[in-house]
Amino acid sequence: MVKKKVPPKKKGATKKKSQAPKKAQLKKAQPKRAVLTKKTVPLKKKAPLKKKVEIKKKKAVKKKPIPKERGQVTFTGQVTKIRQTEPATVVEWPRAITHIHTYGMLSPFFQGLREGRLTATRCPNERCPEKRLWIPPRAHCPDCHSEMTWEALTNPVIGTIHTFTEVVYAGAGIELSTPYWQVDVDIPGLATIPKSYLLYGKPHIGMKVRAEFRTKKPTNTVLDYYWVPAEE
Ligand SMILES: [Zn+2]
């Protein structure tokens, strides 16, 4: 009886949960239910067994999808920075390109800079009115369109500052620290007055300057030659 009295409390619980089973069945089924409840516990224990089975299955399946995981798409870009979110989201999206540029027929000029000399072009046409040298070089004569010939200036190249200006706010692409002195230098024998920069010192019109070259760590651009004061 004690056993029966104790189970009735469970009956109520079972009744509330499910009224479908009949009272008689419940009374008779009490032990069964007790067994069932006991079984439900092991059922929970069985759950992990299922998981184990599933894991085993997954492990077994994993062998096949590994190539898929290796081959999955990944983000290789640079994460954008959010600049603002209101009134709209604005992100900073860095972009960089490599500009492939050929010096073409002017290549000897840049080769000369790397080797520490200024190289100019001259028109070989005897009938051409312009006999002087050109820097920046011209592949063809601006006056008669003849193909130019190359001549290297003898070092040291001493020029005279024709004019100058101080560059404080450089435009995009300028790869010199600011401020710097941009100088137009009159070089003997030239038809042109090329622009360059004064490496140090303060310029004045008529100032003698000497050409120097960035041969140790060349930039392979026109920046590889510059001027330094030649006056003491
Ligand atoms: Zn010419």
Instruction: State pLDDT tens for residues 115-156.
Output: 999 999 999 999 999 999 999 999 999 999 999 999 999 999
pLDDT (0 to 100) of residue 29 = 43
Residue range 91-119: average pLDDT? 94
Cα(7) to centroid of ligand 1, in Å? 119
Cα(127) to centroid of ligand 1, in Å? 8
Hey, what amino acid is at 200? Y
- Which of residues 32 and 186 earns the better pLDDT score? 186
- Helix ranges, the chain (H): 2-17, 23-62, 66-70, 107-114
Residue range 79-102: average pLDDT? 92
Q: Which residues of 109-123 are buried (b: 16+ CB within 10 A; e: fewer)?
A: bbebbeebbbbbbbb
The predicted-structure confidence for 179-215, as pLDDT tens digits, reads as follows 999 999 999 999 999 999 999 999 999 999 999 999 9
Cα(122) to centroid of ligand 1, in Å? 8
Taking CA atoms, 59 is separated from 46, 56, 65, in Å, by 19, 5, 10
Hey, what amino acid is at 182? Q
pLDDT band of 52, cuts 50, 70, 90: low
Distance separating alpha carbons of residues 121 and 141, to the nearest angstrom: 9
Cα(150) to centroid of ligand 1, in Å? 13
Cα(141) to centroid of ligand 1, in Å? 4
pLDDT over 90 at 79, yes or no: no
pLDDT (0 to 100) of residue 76 = 79
Mean pLDDT of the chain: 80
Q: Which of 77, 106, 109, 71 is nearest to 91 (CA)?
A: 77
Cα(143) to centroid of ligand 1, in Å? 5
- HSE, side-chain direction, 13 A CA sphere, residue 85: 0
The answer to whether 159 touches 187, Cβ cutoff 8 Å, is yes
The answer to whether 14 touches 40, Cβ cutoff 8 Å, is no
Cα(146) to centroid of ligand 1, in Å? 5
Distance separating alpha carbons of residues 115 and 216, to the nearest angstrom: 10
How many CB atoms within 10 Å of residue 134?
21
- The tokens of 90 are what? 């604005």
Cα(136) to centroid of ligand 1, in Å? 15
Cα(22) to centroid of ligand 1, in Å? 118
Computed on alpha carbons and rounded to an integer, the radius of gyration of the chain in Å comes to 44
Cα(135) to centroid of ligand 1, in Å? 15
Residue range 157-173: average pLDDT? 93
